[in-house]
Amino acid sequence: MSLLAVRGLTRRFGGLTAVDAVSFDVHESSIKAVIGPNGAGKSTLFNLITGFDRADEGSVTFDGAALVGKRPDAIVRAGLARTFQNTELFEDLTALDNVRIAADVGHPGGFLRSAVRFRLASGERDGAARAAYLLRLTGIDGFADTLARDLPHGTRRLLEIARALATAPRLMLLDEPAAGLNGAETRTLIDALYRIRDEGVALVVVEHDMGLVMEVAEEIVVLDRGAKIAEGPPLLIQKDRAVIEAYLGEECGDDGC
C-alpha cells in the first residue's frame, strides 16, 4: 500500500515550470531518493508536499488523506516531517533538549493512532528517555549533553533528523542530509537511515552524494527541469540513458553515451 501518493504535481514561477506534472508513490518503511541537477525542482517538490508552497495543479495524498492546502504544522501532525538544507537548532540548548522541545510539536489528538507512531512514542514515556532513544537511533547519543552550538557540523545534521523524528512521523523528507559531511559522518548517517527505516518510518531523501543514494535507496526518482525523467531501482537508474544525458549534458547515440 502507498503511504504517500504524489499525482501530477505542478508549480510554476512566472514562465518557469519548477515542478512539472510529477507523480510517484512512497511505500511504508521504505527509502526513496530524489535526484537531479541543480534547479531540477527537488526542493520545490519538498515544499509542495510539506505545505510550505502551494501547487498549481496536482494532488498529494498521505495515509489516504489529501494534503494540498493544509498548513505545514497540520502536515507534521498528520505524521509527515521534514528537514531543511540549512539546519536550525536552539544553539543554547543541549542536543538532548533540542530533541525534547521538538517533540512538543508532535502531540496532537490521535497521536498514538498508528502502530508505528505508538512504537516511537511508547516504552519511553518520559520525554528525556524518549529523546535519548532518538539520539541513539541517529547515532549521536555521545553528544546528548553538548550544547548545539558546540556540535560538529555532521552531528548537527543528525540532530536535525532526531528533532524531526521527535514528532513521531511515518514519513520523513530529508533535503541533502549528507551536505558537508565527512566520510565517517556520512557512514553514521547511512546507518541511522537504515535504523530509522527499520523503525517503520518511510524516508524520501534528496541528495547529491551518489554513493549514499545508490547504497540506501530502494528506488530513485530522477528530476530534470521539473519533470520526472526516470524512476526505478539504483542499478537501472545508473544505466538509464535519459538520466546519463541529464547529468552529463550529452546526447546518447546508438553506440552509447
**Using CB under 6 A as the criterion, which residues of the chain lie in contact with ligand ADP when the complex forms?**
13, 16, 18, 36, 38-44
Placement of cell 547529468 in the chain: 247
**CA–CA dist 168, 141 (Å, integer):** 18
Pick 134 or 172: Cβ nearer ligand ADP = 172
CB of 36 to ligand ADP, least distance (A): 6
98 binds Mg ion (CB under 5 A): no
Amino acid sitting at position 107: H
Least separation in angstroms between residue 26's CB and ligand ADP is 18
Of 16 and 74, the one with the shorter C-beta distance to ligand ADP is 16
Do the beta carbons of residue 172 and residue 165 sit within 8 Å?
A: yes
Q: How far is the CB of 18 from ligand ADP (least distance, A)?
A: 3
Instruction: State the binding partner of 169 from ligand ADP, Mg ion, none, CB within 5 to 8 A by kind.
Output: none
DSSP-derived 3-state class of residue 173 = strand
- State how far the alpha carbon of 151 is from the alpha carbons of 38, 84, 92, 127, 146, in Å: 29, 18, 11, 22, 7
User: Which residue, 53 or 199, is less far from ligand ADP as judged by CB?
Assistant: 53
Closer Cβ to ligand ADP, 97 or 224, answer by number? 224
Quick one: 38 or 86, whose CB is closer to ligand ADP? Answer: 38
Residue type, position 217, single letter: A
Q: How far apart are the first and last CA of the chain?
A: 37
Give which of ligand ADP, Mg ion, none residue 38 binds (C-beta under 5 to 8 Å, depending on kind): ligand ADP
> For residues 84 and 90, which CB has a smaller minimum distance to ligand ADP in the complex?
84
- How many residues touch Mg ion under the rule CB under 5 A: the total is 2
Smallest distance from Mg ion to CB 176, Å: 7
Q: Which region, left, alpha or beta, applies to residue 111 given φ > 0 means left and ψ of -120 to 50 means alpha?
A: alpha
Choose the one of Mg ion, ligand ADP, none that binds residue 36, judging by a C-beta under 5 to 8 angstroms depending on kind.
Answer: ligand ADP
Q: What is the nearest approach in angstroms of Mg ion to the Cβ of residue 18?
A: 11
Binding track over 28-47 against Mg ion, x by CB under 5 A:
--------------xx----
| Closest chain position to Mg ion (CB) | 43
Helix, strand, coil percent values for the chain (each to nearest 5):
40, 25, 35
Query: Strand, coil or helix: what is 167?
Result: coil
- Count of beta carbons in the 10 Å neighbourhood of residue 212: 20
Least separation in angstroms between residue 46's CB and ligand ADP is 8
Specify the 3-state DSSP secondary structure of 1: coil
Q: Coil, strand, or helix at residue 147?
A: strand
Task: Between 202 and 206, name the residue whose CB sits nearer to Mg ion.
Answer: 206
CB count within 10 Å of CB 179 equals 15
Which residues form the interface with Mg ion (CB under 5 A)? 42-43
